[in-house]
Amino acid sequence: MKTPDTLRAVLARIDGRGYKAYEDIRGEYDFGSYRLTVDYVQPDPFAPPSQIIARLSQAEAGFPPGLFSNAVRRTALEDFLARRFHELSGRSRPGSRGTGRSGLISIDGPPQEVIRRTAVLVGEAAVEARFVVGLPARGRTVLGRQAAAIFFDEIPYLVEKALVWRHLDAAAAARHVDAVEDAAFIRDGLRERRLVAFVADGAILPRASGVDDRPLAGRDVVAFRSPDALRVEFRTPHRGAVTGMGVPEGVTLVVGGGYHGKSTLLNAVEKGVYDHLPGDGRELVVTDPLAVKIRAEDGRFVEKVDISPFITNLPFGRDTRSFSTADASGSTSQAANIMEALEAGARLLLIDEDTSATNFMIRDARMQRLVSKDREPITPFIDKVRQLHRDLGVSTILVMGGAGDYFEVADTVIMMDEYLPKDVTAEARRIAAEGGTGRAFEGGERFGAVRPRRPLPESLDASRGRREASVAAKGLHAIAFGRSTIDLSFVEQLVDISQTRAVGDIILHAARRCLDGSRTLAEALALVERDLREKGMDILSPYRRGDYAMPRMLEVAAAINRLRTLRCA
């Protein structure tokens, strides 16, 4: 192992030389209280910055074992430390020491959600931070003295203030970890209570804006308050008794006038598959971890999906038991999205009529009289939603403002009125009983089969001709995968580009290690999930990366299904 004096000497020697001379600093250095590894060196000042790792023994870091005594608390502590490092490193100014990213010091910055990631890792023996540094240059000339200031002044300060327990706010760390554990406790208790979601009294659901996921502030913000009929209580490990609205299994309808909070509630529930940091307002909004937001998606690619529970008898005899298209309609895309989610293991569907295909959701009595069933390929969702729960145990939360026909199939009806929920189930049932819709049921006796597919590994090829595999996240909702681009614009439960980055590399891992042409997609994803649980996300890259965040396998499946080269046996 090298000494800091060696690093200082190398930086002095290469000062003023061409940028590629920075390659000489690669290696591991013993700084006494911690070890510093220069794992990857950027080829020029405009390239992605260099990868640096700082590793402290627990004897030096001094974290109380109780803060990381289980997987949930460990993830929460890692998240707290990453946020602290990010806050402190944000004071550096990219470009202030030269060209391009010169002078940048940055760690993967978490969003409002608390997700397992690779930026900071806490173990029994050590604490490790993985961050990036923009090595200073003027043009493409090494600025060795400025680089020395980063390695010998700024990084030691960040390591000391962000990764050593005695320099941290102990009360804030405990609040952060305890809040996450309380949310996880409630989520783990949902199924036992036959609930699919919980929204705590006092939660703040509205967000600051469409591009700012922090809580809305101001006098007009309405704190959530559960209707008495749906209020339940959880005895959490740290907060004690917590009350709020429990959403039961089955079919739940969310109704109300425009701008009264229907979609705001659904958006909070869809993000409730993740934990949130204290102060977010949604710390105790928790949802079944296998919940999937479903919507129409005109133009999407579909490969051999059995959509026959919803669509049959297409013109020209097209087979809907193995339906493929490069340009799905609104209704066929929504049907495919549901069937793919079921194939991947979804237990709860979240649907908003505003983003659904009308002809997929409802066919009223007048339309049934005009267009007979033998001329209509689509069986509307209204006639299948109860079978989903009865036959498959899959619940649905549905935002609906314009079709009261759904009163007849709902187990629970919640009306949002000025951002507060009311239980109007009894009234909705009375209205449904007083005057029938007049429509005929078209759903048949059973929901139908969910047929597993077997992806061919060669169809998940990320190579670009003779070049090696090329996979890269292009923002939150796109992945460049070889010659293809995976469009994730309508996969709404991705919250962090670091998740998207991991999704791309997970697909590559699955193609190389888990898919063999005989395994189903669900079987392959189960193997991937086991690998990630047992070995960590480092299996996804040839070097240690600090910019992965753990996605759900549901989003991995969604990405595979949108890869236009996908072929299934």
Q: Render pLDDT for 379-393 as a digit per residue (tens, 0 to 9).
A: 999 999 999 999 999
Q: How far apart are CA 432 and CA 439, in angstroms?
A: 12
DSSP 42-69: -SSTTSSPEEEEEEEEHHHH---GGGGS
Check whether 466 has a pLDDT greater than 80.
Answer: no
Tens digit of pLDDT for each residue in 469-510?
Answer: 899 999 999 999 999 999 999 999 999 999 999 999 999 999
Check whether 96 has a pLDDT greater than 70.
Answer: no
Q: Do the Cβ atoms of 197 and 270 come closer than 8 Å?
A: no
- pLDDT band for 543, please (50, 70, 90 cuts): confident
Domain with CATH 3.40.50 in the chain: 189-451
Average pLDDT over residues 252-272: 96
Q: How far apart are CA 366 and CA 53, in angstroms?
A: 66
Report pLDDT for 464: 74
- pLDDT band for 293, please (50, 70, 90 cuts): very high
Q: How far apart are CA 319 and CA 306, in angstroms?
A: 9
Report pLDDT for 40: 93
Check whether 142 has a pLDDT greater than 70.
Answer: yes
User: Does 189-451 carry CATH code 3.40.50?
Assistant: yes
Q: How far apart are CA 44 and CA 506, in angstroms?
A: 28
Q: How far apart are CA 528 and CA 131, in angstroms?
A: 26
Report pLDDT for 520: 98
Tens digit of pLDDT for each residue in 166-195?
Answer: 999 999 999 999 999 999 999 999 999 999
Report pLDDT for 387: 98
Report pLDDT for 112: 96
Report pLDDT for 116: 97
Q: Do the Cβ atoms of 282 and 441 come closer than 8 Å?
A: no
- pLDDT band for 313, please (50, 70, 90 cuts): confident
pLDDT, averaged across the chain: 95
Is 501 buried (19+), middle (13-18) or exposed (0-12) by CB count in 10 A?
Answer: buried
* β-bridge pairing 412-417 and 251-255: parallel
- pLDDT band for 318, please (50, 70, 90 cuts): confident
Q: How far apart are CA 469 and CA 465, in angstroms?
A: 9
Average pLDDT over residues 35-41: 96
Tens digit of pLDDT for each residue in 399-452?
Answer: 998 889 999 999 999 999 999 999 999 999 999 998 778 899 999 999 999 999
Q: What is the DSSP letter of 498?
A: H
Cα distances (Å, whole numbers) of residue 312 to 70, 309, 319, 479: 49, 8, 8, 33
> Hunting for tokens 């409630």 — which residue is that?
186
